[in-house]
Chain A
Amino acid sequence: MLSRTRYRLKQHHKFEQDDQKYVVDLETGDIVQINDVEWEILSRYESQTRHQIVEALKKEYKLTAIFDGIERLERLGKQDLLLQPTVENLAARSLHPYTDRKPKLLVPFHFTKEKSALDYITNLNRYQSLKHLAEFAELETLAFPEEEKEDVPDLDEVRVRNISRAKSDTLMPPWYAMDGYDGILLLSQFLTDDLSYYRIPDVPIVHCIEGDRRLQHVLLRTLLTLCAFQSSKDTLVVKASWMKAWLAELGAPVENVRVIPDGIDIVELTSDKALTKQHTATIFDKPMFVKQPAVGLISGFEPNRGAAWISEFARTNPHLAIFVYDAMLAQHYQHPPENTIIFNADDEETRAVLPVFFQALDLVCFPAMPGTPLPIVLEAMAYGTPCIAMTKYGMPREVIGAGVAIEAEWDHFGNFHVPMVKLSEMINKWLQPSDARTQCQGFAKEIVQRYTRKNAAQVLIQVFEEGFQRRTDNLRPARALFPPIFCRRYEPDTGTLRSSVYRLETNRYDHLETALAEVLAQGHTSAEVASVFKHFQQESSIPVCETTRAGNGFPDNNRETNPTGQEHQ
């Protein structure tokens, strides 16, 4: 979805005569008759935003009349009357607008559905992220208390802007987001009303998608849709590099997709590894965690396939004590293999004990795929544990230097395959003391410095700034003075009709698909336009080849035409 074209108000003169209102465009010499609301809009056009204009006039005029007035004036602008389409000076916008203050971000909240849809750790991370973001930005959310009801109080670090609306005011929340925000942070994991915020011109939007296991079934659709909604000022934030790689593999536009892993919280090492192994063995009543090498598997598998894979992995590696972190299997996988324990932190208490288990690990394995919680991977490694990433896209950049990769296959239907023997060999190798392992252990320990919540918040702010600087790139091309006329064209030689496009300015027919792409580009991103054409290519109905019989019984024996044939020269 694209933003609007901007206009500059040209030199003009307004006057009234015989109860009619007029405005003179002093640059073209044309006079335009305007109505009362257009008169008011023109008075404000140069100094106020569209939002301010509407808010100022809505008590006196119907909303539709105000919007219609703005649309009419901008339609005149497309004809170079009164307003002139303009592109902002690039140099003038090189700096972000909030050098001397914190940026003000809108964070729409409607977490009821989301909270229950996400796991405990993800929810916790979101809360922590906001808390740290509040150090660098002013966070505000919107509330619309019903009449005569109390205002909604502030939510910790997030201030609540209570908006009282008249019953006749049917404007949706995105309207109010146009007022005074430097950016909008969207956290919704579903295709909810949050999508409407993408309609707002100029304000950069950063939409964070978690890649939570529980939303795996809708994740790809959500990501692809958000990519389509974005204009150049907007950014889609994913939490792991493999999610971006996955989108790129699918052909989605990833120019504005950023990877910002959540920061992690690490408790201080309280004891040596032997002691944590002892604790783990005791807690789970699994003495093998003391005797055998402990390998952590941070799972992102689809549950049914995951259970089967874990069983096979455990059978293939009976000499290992396997600690699986899996939010869903911990609940549903009743009888895991003997050498395997499955765990999930789903409350404060279980969350608190997790570092003990992680400190007991000798190696961390994880499939680099959506659904695998990167913060858990990082936290598991942060005590100096190297990793083996089962990956389709190469070593994830988040853990480069802290382990090795083994090539895996998976698709977004949950099918995952890794050569199990090779994996076992690699695990055994990396469990042995070596220089490489020592080096990786050192890198792993640095993870805690690299992935802090503060860093994540700062990067997020930076993303907003970049979006702000890109915000004028999404200006739609100004409409041509004579837009193309899509029409059927009768071909007397064949008696057929062919869809074509007529260009008034040149008095020629042109290729339909060229003009269609032009017209679609005025309201859609290039990715969207590409989607349209890919769809029709798949459907094998390529516009330019299409001819249709006129239905008049004329013979149809010659379909050759000259698509750019000139008329009436």
Chain B
Amino acid sequence: MIGFPKILHQLHLFEEEGVPYAADLDKARVVELSTVMLDILKLAETQTDDAIVETLSTSYEENNISEAFERFAELEREGLLFNRGEDLERSLATESKWRKLLVVIPGININSFFDIETLSAGTNIALAHMIQHLTKYADLHFTGSRNRKIANGVYEVDIGIGDLVRLRSKIAETYYGILTLHQEHDRWLLPFYRHPEFPPILVQNHAPRGHGGQAINSMLRHYAAMRDYDGFTAPSDYVRDFYSQYVWDPSFFNTLPNGVDATLFKPMEKMVAKREIAAEVGDDRIEAVPTVGYLSRVQSEKGASVYLKLAELNPYLIFLIAGPNMGRYASRKLPDNLVYVGFHPRERLPLIYNAFDVYCFMSMSGEETFGLTVLEAMACGVPPIVPNFDGVPSVTGDAGLVADAENFNHDVATLVSYPCPVDFSEKINTLLNNAEMWQAFSENARQRALLFTWDKTARRIVQLFEGLHQKKKLANPNRLLNVFAPIPPIEQEAKQRLKYRALVLSMNAHYERCLMLDAVYPLRVEDGVTLSILKNHTAREAEAILAALIPDETQARTTLKRVRSLIDGTA
């Protein structure tokens, strides 16, 4: 038994050469039916299993009906014919008025984005905030395996990764854009760039490097394959600029800063916060002695070892650590002035930040691009000290101190930086020994943090999609026809040595005259190769080829621009 009645997908039933079929328009798949299956489908939305059996028992053997039920059960498991989950069509029809974005992040637990407590990595927390605020500007449909409403404006839809290509026309009609994450090991996205039907794809990029160059190479592959109207987001100008050095068209990288919930993260009476934490961990020194704070996973990559050194260098200060646990450091003899304050739910984090007099961000990871906790500390009026590393200084601006760090272009395991403990120590003492300066930084920190809102982030995403749509309108097919031919050498040159050239016809692939006067126009071979490549490959791929073929990069870039202008100008 299968549990009829069921909501059917949008189906078209037809026969071809005597065989009945159901065309499932929601899945863009056709299913071959038997006649009994066809008759069951006609009753499927209104009758129960038993009623169907009874109705059809005069026409079919019972075992035929049972087999049909079993086949339907299989098809349902494959997501075919029957609506899985809620009747989303109905709720969308009544609720939806926004542009819709399709969010494609394979392997995620969608629910976690709406239960931030379950998230630990800053990237995921940022993503969750961004998604929640994005619902003010667009409906979000997460690809998944059933239809359901998750929150206002947020749905899971029964579209699997494997369905995307088949459903591309429907996706193009339904969605304003596709939002996804760049994950360096994933390859699933690359083939999708080949389909012009898909709406613009915006790929969030969080990790600029690391893993022996694999992150960079993955990004370079995506950059090459992307259509003219796809793009990346980068959490900071630093990350955008970092990638821009590897490519000719940095417009594919768009800064999308994170935000902070300034109503949650706000300054409190510092002594109250300190008292509460002191009471909680049973250490009165927190109230009496200036505190330095660290809020992160307690791991080497996050600078935990360096932070311990800071504590040793400054025995007269209290160094607080807030994190899920002390990890491997728990088995070590720690400095006496280092106090682990435990793991706290998100709504308690403002209290923790407010118990810090200074916030130290020590990350050495090759994947550090923004420093969300820095922004949260700033929102609480806590002056941050950050290493001169990656995108973090762009968050603090003039509202914090930037300490020296050794940065490495080559990964050392997963580390790409080493924050200087001495300089951090000096800057901590400078801040804590100058009340006026501390006050100024505290106020600046709060004011600067107010500039970073999740609402801005969400609006920026919508703007980016609008920009990509603009680019889509400007994109032109390459219909020019070209050939390569030898040309005779001139007399002064070595005998019998042919030169080569390309020629472009004045007639295009649609048999239209697209260039006036001459029948053919000579081009440099480099231009011809570019023209040929741009027929089925992107300008970024042509970039890679020209970079190899033409030693002078300026000349190579000019070639690409010139040929693209020819294509656009004759489109």
Contact = CB atoms under 8 A, between A and B. Distances in A.
Given A30-B166, A487-B223, A490-B216, A550 B485 contact: no
B21 interface: yes
B505 to A, nearest CB: 6
Contact of B220 (A18, A490, A519, A522): A490
Contacts of A228: 483-486, 503
A218 to B, nearest CB: 10
A74 to B, nearest CB: 12
Interface size bucket, A side?
A: 35 or more
B185 A499 contact: no
18 contacts: A11-B16, A13-B21, A13-B23, A17-B12, A26-B21, A172-B513, A196-B511, A228-B484, A483-B537, A486-B541, A487-B220, A487-B225, A497-B246, A516-B529, A520-B529, A532-B500, A532-B528, A552-B409
B88 interface: no
Nearest to B185: A568
Interface in A403-452: 411-413
- Lowest 5 A-B CB distances belong to which pairs? A228-B485, A487-B224, A499-B548, A492-B213, A486-B541
B contact face: mostly helix, strand, loop, or mixed: mixed
A195 B224 contact: no
Contacts of A534: 498, 500
B121 interface: no
Contact of B487 (A192, A224, A516, A544): A224
Residue of B185, B500, B511, B529 most packed against chain A (CB within 10 A): B511
Contact of A175 (B225, B497, B511): B511
A31 B25 CA distance: 7
A62 B399 CA distance: 60
Interface of B: 10, 12, 14, 16, 21, 23-25, 28-31, 166, 169-170, 184-185, 187, 190-191, 194, 212-214, 216-218, 220-221, 223-225, 245-247, 409-411, 481, 483-488, 491, 495-500, 503, 505-507, 509-513, 519-520, 525, 528-529, 532-533, 535-537, 540-545, 547-551, 553
Interface string A533-569: 0111010010110101011111000000000000110
A193 B544 contact: no
Contacts of B166: 30-31
A519 B217 CA distance: 22
Contacts of B486: 224, 227-228, 250-252, 531
A488 B30 contact: no
Contact of B498 (A17, A224, A507): A224
A502 B537 CA distance: 13
B537 to A, nearest CB: 6
A199 B481 contact: yes
Contact of B14 (A13, A229, A519, A552): A13
Contact of B547 (A17, A507, A548): A548
Interface centre among B532, B536, B544 (most CB of A within 10 A): B544
B401 to A, nearest CB: 26
B503 A413 contact: no
Given A13-B14, A568-B185, A531 B23 contact: no
A528 interface: yes
Interface string A505-529: 0010000100010011011100011
B513 to A, nearest CB: 5
A492 B410 CA distance: 6
A159 interface: no
Given A519-B532, A541-B549, A568-B214, A492 B411 contact: yes
A528 B549 contact: no
B537 A195 contact: no
A489 interface: yes
**Residue with the highest number of chain B CB atoms closer than 10 Å, among A18, A172, A491:** A172
Contacts of B184: 568
B354 to A, nearest CB: 40
A270 interface: no
B25 A22 contact: yes
A251 B216 contact: no
Given A33-B170, A485-B541, A492-B411, A536 B525 contact: yes
Interface of A: 1, 11, 13, 15, 17-18, 22, 24-26, 29-33, 63-64, 67, 170-172, 174-175, 191-196, 199, 220-221, 224-225, 227-229, 249-252, 411-413, 479, 482-483, 485-493, 495, 497-502, 504, 507, 512, 516, 519-520, 522-524, 528-529, 531-532, 534-536, 538, 541, 543-544, 546, 548, 550-554, 567-568
B260 to A, nearest CB: 31
A250 B409 contact: no
A528 B484 contact: yes
A177 to B, nearest CB: 10
A171 B513 CA distance: 7
A11 B21 CA distance: 13
Contacts of A512: 544-545, 548
Contacts of B487: 221, 224-225
Contacts of A174: 507, 511
Given A33-B28, A67-B509, A567-B217, 17 more contacts: A13-B16, A13-B21, A15-B12, A26-B21, A31-B24, A31-B30, A195-B519, A196-B507, A196-B511, A228-B485, A483-B536, A486-B542, A497-B547, A499-B545, A519-B537, A532-B525, A532-B528
A328 B300 CA distance: 89
A228 B506 CA distance: 17
A196 B485 contact: no
Contact of A17 (B25, B190, B220): B25
Contacts of A22: 12, 23, 25
B245 A552 contact: yes
A500 B21 contact: no
B567 to A, nearest CB: 15
